[in-house]
Amino acid sequence: MKAVRVAWKEAGWVFGLSRLVILLVSYFGIVVFPPKGRSMPLDCSTSFDLCLRVWYHWDAVAYVNIAHHGYTYIPDTAFFPFWPLLEHFGGLLLGGFFPNSYYIAGLLLANICFYFALVLLYHLLAEDFDAGIARRALFYFAFSPYALFFFAGYTESLFVLLCLALFLALRRGQAIDWWLAGLLGFLATFTRSTGIILAIPFLVIYVQRFWSPAERGLHSWRQKINALAPILLIPCGVIAYMIYLYFAKGNALMFISQEANFHWHRQLSFPWVGIVSSIGSVFVTSGVGSSYLQNLLDLGFTLIPLAALALGWRRIPLHYALFALGIVLFTLSFPQSAEPLTSLPRYTMILFPVTAIFALWGKREHFHWVVVVFSLSLLALNIVLFIGHYWVA
């Protein structure tokens, strides 16, 4: 019980500090820098609605549209339904029937989910490592360069919460916990197709728990089947969305065709194709312009977690490492044509096993302060860019 209270407390101060920093930087960005397309900064005394909606950009707009109107705009079918469904009910609780209610519901839900994710992350890492590493990991996670997406009305907070909850259910390993893990996996894939990767840690823990030499003879076949069967629930999130699209739109694979043919232009490729193309883009555009900088950041924040995972592989549990590798390979397998690794920094920031590796390395004070200064600086820059309606990830 004491460990639970500590987790709530440690998550609370990191969450509160990170939200304060984000709000302060947001205010600074509003009053100092003009948003894209305007010559002057916003005056919140005369443009309160515009100031309120400074986080209403890019995917957040799509989720609000789905929450408010459903999938009436066909390209929105690229976005999976669980997050906008939650946003819809949250918006109704806030009054509904006008866009701001769904937008504000998205902000509130994202931050609530992130707080619970921090609680679970601390609980998980404190048991797998120690309290010092868990505290450092919380700080690195909440202040990572792209952590603004844990604040905005995006799916990242919900997705990482579901992933962490699944890992905790697998750790407990009671008969009901395997079914709980399967349900959490279903909700994760109903949120983002990447959730299918959760089948990997599920299978690893299952094999370790029931088929290792020390455990093999301790469990009945009924127990083994009961624990394995819920893994089938994980891909059912994608299947459920496909069934909906088939009956509602006449095309079960519409989310794939929209990703491929609308402005995302993402198609299945070998994982290394996007990295090679991005390296080529960096050298072709060599030196200046927003496109060069964007490609450089995308490439850097794709290679950094890959390098950290390679170097720290043996220092984290196997199911952590395979989960992180699976997420990276899955996201790399769908590069974009114009900017091959666009959004990859956002997709990989949920990799809490990589954060755990950095927290282990953070025992060295010099390394710790390099991470803190670098992360906070880039986080502040990304917040100012995002609220100014510039593409970040």
Q: Given a cut of 60, is residue 232 above it in pLDDT?
A: yes
pLDDT tens per residue, range 80-121: 999 999 999 999 999 876 769 999 999 999 999 999 999 999
DSSP character string of 177-194: HHHHHHHHHHHHHHH-GG
Mean pLDDT score across all residues of the chain: 94
Round to whole Å and give the CA distance between 47 and 49: 6
Instruction: Look at residue 282 in the predicted model and tell me its pLDDT.
Output: 76
Is residue 254 within 8 A of residue 74, CB to CB? The reply is yes
Indicate the helix (H) or strand (E) that contains 147. none
pLDDT over 70, % of the chain: 97
User: Among 220, 181, 83, 144, which residue's Cα sits nearest to residue 376?
Assistant: 144
Round to whole Å and give the CA distance between 2 and 309: 32
HSE at residue 109, side-chain half, CA atoms within 13 A, is 27
pLDDT tens per residue, range 15-64: 999 999 999 999 999 999 999 888 889 888 787 888 999 999 999 999 99
pLDDT band at 292 (very low <50, low <70, confident <90, very high): confident
pLDDT band at 291 (very low <50, low <70, confident <90, very high): confident
Higher-scoring residue by pLDDT: 179, 284: 179
pLDDT over 90, % of the chain: 83
Structure tokens at 179: 């079914």
- Phi and psi at 339, nearest 5°, equal -120, 95
- When pLDDT is averaged across residues 153-161 and rounded to a whole number, the result is 98
Is residue 110 within 8 A of residue 153, CB to CB? The reply is yes
User: Among 112, 246, 135, 120, which residue's Cα sits nearest to residue 184?
Assistant: 120
